[in-house]
A and B are shown apart, each in its own frame.
Chain A
């Protein structure tokens, strides 16, 4: 991801900044300008709690070139306790032990190296959490 795009994503990436629709209460990560449920345009921003559960998952064994050094890795969709869902790698757990419903929390880790440009990209990864 080019550097300008990374910079723009920093508030969301580092603080897990989300937004809750003032009209209907639906929460979004990342924040949006228009609610896709009620078309509301007013939001309250908040920092998401870092905890959630695995909704579905896979093990990526054939990655794109950018992630070739990391495969195989577990990937899942996480239902965050504050409402939004997001996609995340799931680490610090044996690949085959990831399960639907497994409690996780998000931590900040190195996600990928940019390749030729050399910039290292950081982002969230999910790790197992105790109930």
Chain B
């Protein structure tokens, strides 16, 4: 395998982009990434998108986006792993460059979620669950994570306030991210008193519905000097799955796909959880960040909640988590999220993150997750 580096990143402000088409949203971010790297033509392209068919009645995005990006005839594929589609696109691009197949490869992600109503969007997202044996009972994603929260609170004494502390931290970080969808501070009381969604989760425990895209350019590490910006090396990649139905897991308080993907990435990178300077993790719900931080080995089981409350994962804390604002504040256009995590890590490791810069960051971890943890991707990046 060849060593691989990220050499360009692109992302625009996320939100409710009613006036923009899916293809324009994607192409704008892709062009930013190509301009950042200083490249005009791509060898190949991978696009993470969960369900453009249900959200916008358009499939076949590989062709749509290569066409509208002016990359005539290149191999271009949409890849899907529910909300981990972006992380999967990044891994596919990494494997493509590492294998020697292509030298300049774009990994992108896109989801346009606000063209349909809230109930339809809830249904589209619920297709990432086991539709036959969970969906039939009226399960929603907040409901699945709420059931994990109840189990985690029961086993470890995780508190309602600790869940809320995740939202408070991530919204605070998001105020420093010009591309975040919801740049506002929230309080513990505000979270706990917001509209109930699935007990014990309230609306401010949930990531929002978002339109947005993100893109990055990967090249062989030994070609980095040919480009404008410093490269950031991809030193670890992991990908794992778990049962599609939450109820088929013996332990509802951990996410084994996350642990397995992390172990692969740690092994490839010859790093350990203690070597990580900052992490972007899949906080689709507040409880998810707590369980993921434990499943990655950043904290012992049951210590994720107290760690957030104590500020260990805040900017300036021992291991800042979701400096970008996370899915919670930045937004969660599902297919784009995993790629946006790589955008944030790359900017952090280049020292370009402005007010939310993690000082001295050299090694960053990105964790992206599909469904209730039925799939997960973990990547580790390092300053070159």
- A residues with a Cβ closer than 8 A to B are 1, 5, 9, 30, 36, 55-68, 70, 73, 75-78, 85-89, 100, 111-112, 121, 123
For residue B198, CB closer than 8 A to chain A, the reply is yes
Q: Assuming the A-B contacts A36-B243, A77-B147, are A121 and B136 also in contact, with contact meaning beta carbons closer than 8 angstroms in the complex?
A: yes
* Cβ-defined contact, B122 with A58, below 8 A: no
* Cβ-defined contact, A111 with B136, below 8 A: yes
* Cβ-defined contact, B150 with A59, below 8 A: no
- Complex alpha-carbon distance, A86 and B248, angstroms: 7
Neighbouring A residues of B196 by C-beta, 8 Å: 59, 61-62
* Cβ-defined contact, A30 with B137, below 8 A: no
- B residues with a Cβ closer than 8 A to A are 117, 119-120, 122-123, 126, 131-134, 136-140, 142-143, 146-148, 150-151, 154, 195-201, 203, 243, 245-248, 252
- Complex alpha-carbon distance, A5 and B218, angstroms: 43
Q: Assuming the A-B contacts A63-B122, A86-B133, are A58 and B247 also in contact, with contact meaning beta carbons closer than 8 angstroms in the complex?
A: no
- Complex alpha-carbon distance, A61 and B146, angstroms: 11
* Cβ-defined contact, A89 with B199, below 8 A: no
Min CB distance B208 to A, Å, is: 13
Q: Assuming the A-B contacts A87-B133, A123-B136, are A56 and B147 also in contact, with contact meaning beta carbons closer than 8 angstroms in the complex?
A: yes
* Cβ-defined contact, A5 with B132, below 8 A: yes
* Cβ-defined contact, A112 with B198, below 8 A: no
Task: Count A/B pairs, Cβ under 8 Å.
Answer: 105
Neighbouring A residues of B148 by C-beta, 8 Å: 56
- 18 additional contacts (CB under 8 A) given A56-B147, A100-B154: A1-B131, A9-B132, A55-B151, A56-B150, A58-B147, A61-B199, A62-B196, A63-B140, A75-B138, A75-B147, A76-B147, A78-B247, A85-B248, A86-B133, A87-B245, A87-B246, A87-B247, A112-B136
* Cβ-defined contact, B151 with A56, below 8 A: yes
CB-based closest 10 A-B pairs: A65-B119, A58-B146, A67-B138, A56-B151, A85-B247, A59-B199, A64-B122, A56-B147, A77-B247, A64-B123
* Cβ-defined contact, A73 with B136, below 8 A: no
Q: Of A56, A57, A65, which is within 8 A of B123 by CB? A: A65
Neighbouring B residues of A78 by C-beta, 8 Å: 247
Summarize A's interface: helix, strand, loop or mixed. strand
* Cβ-defined contact, B197 with A62, below 8 A: yes
Neighbouring A residues of B147 by C-beta, 8 Å: 56-58, 75-77
Closest chain A residue, CB of each to CB of B151:
A56
- Complex alpha-carbon distance, A78 and B147, angstroms: 12
- Complex alpha-carbon distance, A92 and B151, angstroms: 23
* Cβ-defined contact, A64 with B247, below 8 A: no
Q: Of B140, B200, B245, B246, which is within 8 A of A60 by CB? A: B140
Closest chain A residue, CB of each to CB of B130:
A87
* Cβ-defined contact, B137 with A89, below 8 A: yes
Neighbouring A residues of B243 by C-beta, 8 Å: 36
Neighbouring B residues of A100 by C-beta, 8 Å: 150-151, 154
* Cβ-defined contact, B199 with A58, below 8 A: yes
- Complex alpha-carbon distance, A84 and B372, angstroms: 19
Q: Of A56, A75, A85, which is within 8 A of B137 by CB? A: A75
- Complex alpha-carbon distance, A89 and B136, angstroms: 10
